[in-house]
Amino acid sequence: MKQLIELKNLLFISLLATLFPLEANEYENYLKKHNDQFIKYQKDIDNEFQAYKKAYDQSFKEYKDEITKKWPKADISTNFRWVEYDRNYNSKKAVDYQKQKIDLEVHAANAKEAEIKLTKMFEELMKYDANKGYMNDILDQKITKKLGTGRDNLQNSEKLIGDFISQEDEQGIKAAIVVEKIQEIPFQDNKIYKIEIPFPSNALLKKAKLFKAKVSQEAKKNNIEDALIFAIIENESSFNPLAKSYVPAFGLMQIVPQTAGVDSYYALYGKKQLLDGGYLFEPNNNIMIGTTYLNLLFFKYLKDIKNDESRLYCAIASYNGGSGTVAKSFSGAKSIPLALQEINSLTSDALYKKLMKDIPASETRKYLYKVRKSYHEYKQLLQKGVL
């Protein structure tokens, strides 16, 4: 509400300036005041982000050290993999949305005890939603404690696995958690027991269907294809509701708070603000911010690219590596205007081949290839009514 009031005030001031023209000196003072305010916003955001990064780095080291006292390596949540240890670091639940499997591990005296514990862990995981996973996040608790900020409940009741594993599948999985299938991993003077559980074959499609309404709404509002949004989500998070990376980036579309988050929020509400994980883990917020950023890429930063398909490829690459990275593929400088002449002289196929050859970062080249492939696959699914 506060952001909306500030935006209305700015619009009202602009209207007054139109209706009652200011004298030259007054107008210069007006511009300076608002430019200074804009610079202050940016400085505050940079300071806030640096404080977060410092708290993250310190907390990450503490968390990793605590884990490796009881485990061979520190397995920590990523954009594709959600990981949770219990308070005493005696058990670990992990859901890998990209590899489509669940890993459950526990310290136990023997395989029979492990069987009982692992079965109970799976039953608990079936009931887990994103809010519970977020509130139990030990690393995030450490970060917010260092920052001196509170942690509100996440408004996301999406199940971590319970929305794509049916009751029938659940019973079959529980029946398969038996001593004969449990791996034993010796570690120091302890024994760790592990079971791997594959996802059902249609798991990610079920996940995608959860967001169809919101994707369609934001796609229509921003003049972006549904298929592209789904392709971005799959390649950024594989529909992991608690996706986060070291960058840091958060949520389904992996929003980086300091860049895409700030730009998109400003485009929506007229205010620069650093968005936190609690905001970006809420799927409606994340899809809104991510699709708004795609709109900025298509219709602001890359608007002078004439060929629609060429602009699509440049937007995909820019979503991962920034528009400056795309520009460097053509002009050697991080400037789209300097690259426009060559970009517009190429066919879309020729432009795609050049990007795949000359984008400096291999990660961005791979990203462009994978998202383009997923984009066409989602177009087919949408056209056939499967999604």
DSSP 297-365: IIIIITTT--SHHHHHHHHHHHHHH-HHHHHHHHHSSS-HHHHHHHHHHS-HHHHHHHHHHH-S-HHHH
Determine the average pLDDT of the residues in 30-41.
Answer: 58
The Cα–Cα gap between 291 and 379 comes to: 17
**pLDDT at res. 14:** 47
| Rounded to 5°, angle at Cα 217 from 298 and 165 | 110
Determine the average pLDDT of the residues in 260-277.
Answer: 93
**Structural domains of the chain sorted by starting position, each given as residue range(s) with its CATH number in brackets:** 81-200 (no CATH), 205-383 (1.10.530.10)
Cβ atoms 243, 223 nearer than 8 A: no
Determine the average pLDDT of the residues in 234-251.
Answer: 94
HSE-CB at 107 with a 13 A cutoff on CA atoms is 15
Q: How large a percentage of the chain has pLDDT more than 90?
A: 78
Q: How far out from the chain centre does Cα 167 lie?
A: 29
The Cα–Cα gap between 385 and 383 comes to: 5
Mean pLDDT of the residues in the chain: 90
Cβ atoms 170, 194 nearer than 8 A: no
Of 136, 139, 144, 137, nearest in space to 61 by CA: 139
User: 276-306 as b/e, with b when 16 or more CB fall inside 10 Å?
Assistant: bbbbbbbbebbbbbbbbbbbbbbeebbeebe
For residue 312, CA distances in Å to 34, 201, 300, 354 come to 34, 30, 13, 14
Residue with tokens 């789209």: 336
Confidence of residue 17 (pLDDT cuts 50, 70, 90): very low
Q: What is the pLDDT of residues 290-340, one digit of tens each?
A: 999 999 999 999 999 999 999 999 999 999 999 999 999 998 889 999 999
Q: What is the CA radius of gyration of the chain?
A: 24
Q: How large a percentage of the chain has pLDDT more than 70?
A: 89
The Cα–Cα gap between 296 and 322 comes to: 12
Determine the average pLDDT of the residues in 156-183.
Answer: 95
The Cα–Cα gap between 23 and 44 comes to: 31
φ/ψ (deg, to 5) at 219: -60, -45
Confidence of residue 370 (pLDDT cuts 50, 70, 90): very high
Least confident of 32-36, 245-249, 350-354: 32-36
- The DSSP call for residue 261 is I
**Beta bridge partners of residue 245, listed in sequence order:** 249
The Cα–Cα gap between 134 and 342 comes to: 47
The Cα–Cα gap between 340 and 346 comes to: 10
